[in-house]
Structure 1
Amino acid sequence: MSIAAEQIITEKTIDEAYTYEEYRDMIDELLEQNKTTGDNHSDEMVHYTKMNVQRMSRWDKRIDLNDSLVDKLNSLDQKWTWLVITEAWCGDAAQNIPALVKMAEKTDNIDIRFILRDQNLDLMDEYLTNGGRSIPKLICLDAETLEEIGTWGPRPKLAQQKAMEWKENESISKEEWARKLHKWYAENKTEGVQQEFAERINQWSE
């Protein structure tokens, strides 16, 4: 973590961050007003948010964590805070966050919290991906000292590779690119993110 990030992530940051239940409730309340998170409340962005609520609800019910990952989570003897930078309109966030929440629920040693990217750009800018403000971004912190242990995001590695290939292909429209990406998530069934976190937990526990 850079010095700037160390100064930005404070106990207040964590205290004011949303729990998953609070995050979902906040999104529902905004949708009742035909709004989403951030400043862009266009029909398109609200539509994305509605789809993401459906995605999160579906994954909340369907995710089954691998036994090996559950074993790693159960054996964790460090206390971590997972701070996730996100937005309600972000499709990648909706596809990945439920799996992250399921992982955190398997152990008393992980507290997962959520903050909105556009309300925390100073923090987001410490965790850019290829120069961009890509989300979701998870920052694993020591729960007591808030020292950074590691990061993950915005997508599983294979999804990121495919997404970049599709994005660079001029024959693929933005709409088709999005369809391909969400089809990948549906077929992968969170295996990618689970595998990567099994590896991360090993690394972060050393």
Structure 2
Amino acid sequence: MDFGAYLDVFEKILHDPAPKKPYDNPDYFNYAKLNWSRMHRWLKQAKLAPEAQEAVMQVKAPQQWIIITEPWCGDAAHSVPLMELIAAMNPLISVDYQLRDSPPFLIDNYLTNGGKSIPKLIIRNSEGKDLGTWGPRPAECQALYNSLTAEKADFETLKTALQKWYNKDQGQAIMAELTAVIRGSLADKF
């Protein structure tokens, strides 16, 4: 699905009077509502790093970006809008959104330390060869996550700490890491 279709799926969840699993759980439903707001804030206010803009404009052959995500994912609310805005700058890049928890379960081929962590970006050439991947979160944020998990922090503490990290970083780490992945994808000679 394209970004518009992903937004439609997201919005239908938020307006469904009897949401399906996992959104029938109030926690998941509330995460989705919060993520909708965060995602739209990024779409309106994001200032793309010049390095990211420069890198994406260096893509001279068609690429397909596959973004595996879910509306309940807090990390996705911060990174998916930046991926979309960067990709939209270059007409040679097509983006396909796939839900982690729905067929074809592509995430099973892109596990992070054995887990189905999202969001996950896969960059492919026109022949379907993987040129690079990114996700589920910037390295510094992942280190914070790992530290809090090792300390057995409760979910509320973990969620709050990650949100504070994202707010402070303002998308800079995501853009820097995406820039590196895009530049790495250019090394492929198609």
Partner of 2:128: 146
- The answer to whether the Cα contact below 8 Å between 1:35 and 1:46 also exists between their aligned partners in 2 is no
CA shift digits 1:123-158 (9 cap, x unpaired)? 21111111111011111111x211111111100111
Instruction: Assess if the C-alpha contact under 8 Å between 1:37 and 1:88 holds in 2.
Output: no
Residue from 166, 186, 195 that aligns with 2:176: 195
- Decide whether aligned partners of structure 1 residues 125 and 63 sit closer, same or farther in structure 2, where only a CA change above 3 A counts: same
Q: Which amino acid aligns with 1:134?
A: S
CA distance in 2 between counterparts of 1:158 and 1:140 reads 22
Gaps of 5+ in 1: 1-17
* 1:107 partner amino acid: N
CA distance in structure 1 between the aligned counterparts of 2:140 and 2:185, rounded to whole angstroms: 21
In the alignment, the residues of structure 2 paired with residue 97 and residue 136 of structure 1 have an alpha-carbon distance, to the nearest angstrom, of: 7
Task: Name segments (4+ residues, structure 1) moved above 6 Å.
Answer: none
Q: Distance in 1 between matches of 2:68 and 2:184?
A: 21
Contact 1:86–1:135, Cα closer than 8 Å, also in 2: yes
Q: Which runs of 5+ in 2 are unaligned?
A: none
- CA drift of 1:122 comes to 4.1
> Is 2:185 the counterpart of 1:204?
yes
| Alignment of 1:137 onto 2:123 | no
Number of residues of Structure 1 aligned to a counterpart in Structure 2 = 187
Closer/same/farther in 2, CA of residues 38 and 113 from structure 1, 3 Å limit = farther
> What is the match of residue 52 of structure 1?
35
Q: Bigger CA drift: 79-88 or 32-41?
A: 32-41
Question: Partner of 2:148 in structure 1?
Answer: 166
Q: CA RMSD in A?
A: 1.6
Which residues in structure 2 correspond to 1:91-102 (within 5 Å)? Answer: 91-102=74-85
Q: Deviation per CA, 1:50-71: give whole Å up to 9, x if none.
A: 0000000100011111112211
Q: Which amino acid aligns with 1:199?
A: A
The aligned counterpart of 1:29 is: 12
8 Å contact 1:19–1:112 — kept in the other structure?
yes
Structure 1 72/36 Cα, relative in aligned 2: closer, same or farther at 3 Å? farther
- Structure 2 counterparts to residues 64-83 of structure 1, below 5 A: 64-83=47-66
- Secondary structure of the corresponding residue to residue 101 of structure 2: helix
Task: Calculate percent identity across the aligned residue pairs.
Answer: 30
Report the TM-score when normalising by structure 2. Answer: 0.92
For normalisation by structure 1, the TM-score amounts to: 0.86
